[in-house]
Amino acid sequence: MAHNHHGHNHSHAHNHSHGGGGNIGIAFFLNLSFTVIELVGGIFTNSIAIISDAVHDFGDSLSLGLAWYFQKLSKKGSSRQYSYGYKRFSLLGAIINSVVLVVGSVYILSAAIPRLFSPQETNAQGMFILAILGIVINGAAALRTRKASSINERVVSLHLLEDVLGWAAVLVGSAVMYFTGLTVIDPILSALIACFVLFNVFKNIRQVLPVLLQGVPAEIEPEHLIKELKEIEQVANVHDLHIWSLDEEYKVLTVHVTLKETLPMERLVGLKEEIRAVLKKEEVTHATIEFEMPDETCAFENCV
């Protein structure tokens, strides 16, 4: 029996933006500085919406710090312990961010709900001034992370956008309170902000989990890919195809390709180039291709 020569294609194209770490760093310092201002302002104005948002922003600051650290760590190359490098660590940052936001939002709701039934007097003018500051500072941070390429950066950008929207709501609410005296608007705003944050966190977790669980990237259709590979002249069959992503951007693929006839090594090199061209169209970053000769049985029991 003729044994195959295993062909391994290791393509390492890194064509994604890597400026996110610096943007997250700037967003972190902006957020942390404003959290202190916000906490003092919330106590001064006796606004549960602002105190709650200060807690939320403090959680965001912790998350941003972690995101910044994991984003930098994810750029490290492969090591003995992590042969694919540290790219997946950016997902860990996204998960921690999400957990912190859930805890913060639950706290906000627990503080806001009692005030719905016994509203307290608040300083509407002070809230209005803080809201303008909040929109400017969080807006500047959101712009820094707007063109995000990784999940981690998008989570950060989402946090900051939520903060901008939250402050816009506080701005409108404080104006209404000033002219009508309806102090119940403060806890209502607080509860609405918390629910909006929770909704978006769960949406994000649904996006992160398939990547962590090594699901097939949503934009790749395995059946279509197999069909394209089978159209290559020397390919008889394609099986044991596995596709996953390290961090949503860096896509990894392994595949067994059965040949119509036994080919010399120099012909296999050309065939790999054809296969690589098909995979490149699907934005596969790292591929391992194993060739099998016509009379060879797949070495694995579950070749699917």
**Does the pTM of the predicted model rise above 0.75?**
no
Domain match, 179 and 78 both: yes
Q: Which of 160, 243, 208, 235 has its CA nearest to residue 7?
A: 235
Does residue 6 form part of some domain? Answer: no
Q: Measure the CA–CA gap between 159 and 198, rounded to whole angstroms.
A: 11
- Looking at the fold, whether 73 and 205 belong to one and the same domain comes out as yes
Is residue 64 within 8 A of residue 23, CB to CB? The reply is no
Give phi and psi for 213, each to the nearest 5: -90, 15
Tell me whether residue 304 is in a domain.
no
Owning domain of residue 231: 222-292
- Shared domain for 85 and 136, answered yes or no, is yes
Asked whether residue 262 falls in the same domain as residue 113, the answer is: no
Q: Is residue 303 part of a domain?
A: no
- What does the alpha-carbon distance between residue 242 and residue 225 come to, in Å, rounded to a whole number? 11
Query: Do 75 and 124 lie in a common domain?
Result: yes
What does the alpha-carbon distance between residue 42 and residue 236 come to, in Å, rounded to a whole number? 69
Structurally, the chain folds into a number of domains equal to: 2
Cα separation of 280 and 285, whole Å? Answer: 7
The answer as to whether 1 is a domain residue is no
Tell whether the model's pLDDT for residue 304 goes beyond 70.
Answer: no
Residues 186 and 262 in one domain: no
pLDDT, tens digit, 9 for 90 and up, residues 31-88? 788 888 888 888 888 887 787 777 777 777 877 787 778 777 777 777 788 777 777 7
How many Å apart are CA 17 and CA 71, to the nearest integer?
Answer: 12
Encode pLDDT of 216-264 as tens digits: 888 888 888 888 899 888 888 888 889 988 877 788 998 999 898 888 8
| 250, burial (CB in 10 Å: exposed 0-12, middle 13-18, buried 19+) | buried
Tokens (6 digits) for 230: 């089978």
Residue 147 shares a structural domain with residue 205: yes
